[in-house]
Every structure is written in C-alpha cells, then in structure tokens.
Amino acid sequence: MVKLPGIAKSLFPVLTFCWVFLSAPTTLAQSLQLEGPSSTVREGYFTVSVVAQEQREEPLTNLVIDVSTQADFSHVEQTFPALGDFRKLSLTGFSDGVYYLRARADNLAEPSNVIKVTVQHYPLWQALGLFFTGLIIFALLVVILLRSHRRVEKEAGND
C-alpha cells in the first residue's frame, strides 16, 4: 500500500470521485419538451413549440412532429417535418377528433413528451350563419355605396 502525505490523503477521495464522474460516458439524451394548445381547438389548426431541456452544441437533426390517434403511437397518422431550425410549427388540416403529438429528432434517443389535442370545429349552422350575415352586410354596403355615388353624380350634374 502506498503511503500518502497528509494533504494528499484528504484530497485523494475527492480527486478520485471527480475523475470517475468526469470520465464516465455521458449517456443522458437531450430531452425535448413539446408544448401545444391547452384547450379544445375550434379551427382545425394550431401551433406547437419544441423546447430542448438541455443545451447542446449540435443542432437537432431531422426534427419531426408525429401525430397519432392512439396514445401509444402504435400507428402514426401523419409526420410534420420542421424545416430549418424552427422551434414553432403551425399544424393544419385536422378534422374533429382527439390527436396525440410528440416530437423526435434523429440525434436523440428518446422522443418528447406526448400532448393531447382535441379538435372540435364550429357547427355548420354557426359557420353558415356567420357567412350569410357577412354576405348581407357586404351586399348592403355595396347598395349604399352605389346609391351615394349616383346621388353625388346627379348633384354634380345639376350644378
């Protein structure tokens, strides 16, 4: 056994711990956090954002958002790639239903958390009611503008 001087004897366990800790391979994967709408989506489109829990020097490669109707992702319905280094994506084209989303990247071992998004569009009677209300207001505006224009032309012609 090697005899160590007093100060080396007290530093030896600390230095050994540091060497073991720092030389251990880093197996922690960068985890992603996916954030999305917290309430029911009424329009069929929404925005999700991806946040890296840990900072890494290398960018995420091939970041995609998986969409499934099953919570276990046994069947992925759609995949949305994030083009460039974007962290917010607008997803559109969803019909009524419950969807589960997760983010994943090629250089990460684990996908992100799973979020649940419920899409429930406005009823057709409400959409058509708003459409026809807007149509009536537009038609009234055109009639008022045409009448005002004719009246101004008549008054200009009489002068």
pLDDT in tens, 86-112: 778 888 889 999 999 998 888 777 888
Q: What topology is assigned to 32-119 in CATH? A: Immunoglobulin-like (2.60.40)
State both tokens at 90: 């607008």
Beta-bridge mates of residue 99: 117
State both tokens at 30: 């960068």
Amino acid code (one letter) for 38: S
Q: What is the maximum alpha-carbon separation in the chain?
A: 121
Q: What is the pLDDT of residue 128?
A: 94
**Mean pLDDT lowest among 1-10, 38-47, 150-159:** 1-10
Mean pLDDT of 9-28: 46
User: How many degrees, rounded to 5, is the angle at CA 70 between CA 66 and CA 75?
Assistant: 60
How far is it, in rounded angstroms, from Cα 48 to Cα 77? Answer: 17
Q: What is the pLDDT of residue 26?
A: 40
pTM score of the predicted model: 0.63
Assess whether pLDDT exceeds 50 at residue 3.
yes
State both tokens at 134: 């807007």
